[in-house]
Amino acid sequence: MNIEELHKLFLQHPSVSTDTRSIAKGGIFFALKGENFNGNAFSSQALEKGAAYAVIDSPEYKLGKKTILVKDVLITLQELATFHRHYCDAKIIALTGSNGKTTTKTLINAVLSQKYNTIATHGNLNNHIGVPLSLLRLKEETEIGIIEMGANHQKEIEFLCDIAQPDYGYITNFGKAHLEGFGGVEGVIRGKSELYTHIIDHKGLIFYNADDPIQVEKTRDYQYKFAYSASDKANFSIKLLEVNPFVVLKTQGTIINTQLIGSYNFPNCCAAILMGEYFKVPLKSIKKAIEEYKPDNNRSQILETNGHKIILDAYNANPSSMEVALEYFNLLDEPNKTVFLGDMFELGEDAKIEHQKIAELAQSMKFDMVFLIGENFSKTTVKLKKYSSFESLAAHLKKSPITSSTLLIKGSRGMALEKILDYL
């Protein structure tokens, strides 16, 4: 069965699953393989649970007309997504960057959906599997698709662009994330800039931050671009008025009061406003969308429990996001400030020095207590409370619980520092 024939089948059964635990009845199951599993072995189970068809690439699992045998299930999924992307008439906005991708994507979707029929990447399904799954959610009536792209090595963004074929591109920033895979900060810049290369090669439009010298340099010789700036040096001016604790900004004489903390969220809001302006969303609708957005899923959430005010930012961490989070928390006018920092992953040979830098930064600031958790942080030379594992921290908190305090909790996803809430 070729891709065109498979696509006709998909239009009759327009839902896709790669996990038998979330089978959509009447949909199509794609039997992907992983290091520790073979989806082909679950194809019969998928059919039993209500899938109309199962796409497989191992002949021994063929079960009549309900199973579709292909050479490679993953490649087939990706090719089907690209075919469907062109079948639908939607414009595709792709965004990547070291920090803020998911928040920015959600804000852009909130703004553009005020006027257009949109879809956006669910959660962080932003890799070689997630991007195709997002594209397959496009409908014929969809006008704009916002596709998040993640990467931890060179050529990954290039590959995802080949799948999604975006019309527009935006890079949030270039920071110290996935240094191990990219080969340092310069490698991060090269890898993320693959989105610019694709957009330029296909004469699409680039959205960018004119206050970021790297973004300015990378887009200097390209004519199809649209920028924002805190000054008047871009197409569109947006001013940061205050952060206390939420971001308040002003554009075109209109003040927008967000529910987002930290000046690091200002550019994320700016990107959404910029795209709203470009796509002619009324300013009052842009204001409404941004003011109503409230972060969740451990991303810069503000919580209150047992007498504590908590900034929970435990979804992810890298040196760049750690630094701005600490700087924000240091300036916050709150009593009894306590910091919990968990290890940052995928830093490779830079792990030791980057953890030491962050530990020294935390030590230099005016916090009442700082807890460092993880193998890397526990090896730093600062005079702070250090724990090599979450279990050792938990044992301490059981004996010496934190009294009424304002807390910052930040670490990489693998540290799962939201578990600290159970010990407050």
Nearest to 134 by CA among 199, 178, 73, 90: 90
Q: Rounded distance, CA 217 to CA 237, Å?
A: 19
Per-residue confidence (pLDDT) for residue 239, from 0 to 100: 95
In terms of domains, do 132 and 202 share one? Answer: yes
Cα angle: 102, vertex 104, 109; to 5 degrees? 95
Distances (CA, A) of 24 to 27, 32, 47, 348: 5, 16, 10, 40
In terms of domains, do 364 and 319 share one? Answer: yes
Nearest to 72 by CA among 45, 50, 40, 43: 40
In terms of domains, do 165 and 253 share one? Answer: yes
Helices marked H in 152-229: 156-164, 179-182, 185-192, 194-201, 213-219
In terms of domains, do 29 and 57 share one? Answer: yes
In terms of domains, do 205 and 113 share one? Answer: yes
Per-residue confidence (pLDDT) for residue 117, from 0 to 100: 98
Please check whether residue 278 lies inside any domain of the structure: yes
Domain of residue 54, CATH code: 3.40.1390.10
Domain count, the chain: 3
> Which of 248, 269, 292 is at the close of a domain?
292
- By the 10 Å C-beta count (0-12 exposed, 13-18 middle, 19+ buried), 364 is classed as exposed
Q: Rounded distance, CA 69 to CA 57, Å?
A: 5
Expressed as residue numbers, the domain containing 285 is: 88-292
User: Does the N-terminal peptide bond of residue 132 adopt cis geometry, omega within 30 degrees of 0?
Assistant: no
Nearest to 352 by CA among 340, 361, 343: 343
In terms of domains, do 306 and 279 share one? Answer: no
Per-residue confidence (pLDDT) for residue 67, from 0 to 100: 96
In terms of domains, do 243 and 149 share one? Answer: yes
In terms of domains, do 30 and 174 share one? Answer: no
In terms of domains, do 215 and 285 share one? Answer: yes
> Global pTM?
0.86
Please check whether residue 408 lies inside any domain of the structure: yes
Average pLDDT along the chain, 424 residues, taken 10 residues at a time: 95 94 91 89 93 95 92 97 96 94 95 98 92 97 97 91 98 80 83 95 96 94 94 87 91 95 92 98 98 82 87 88 91 90 92 95 94 96 95 94 88 93 89
Q: Rounded distance, CA 342 to CA 179, Å?
A: 17
Please check whether residue 82 lies inside any domain of the structure: no
Please check whether residue 83 lies inside any domain of the structure: no
Please check whether residue 118 lies inside any domain of the structure: yes
In terms of domains, do 193 and 138 share one? Answer: yes
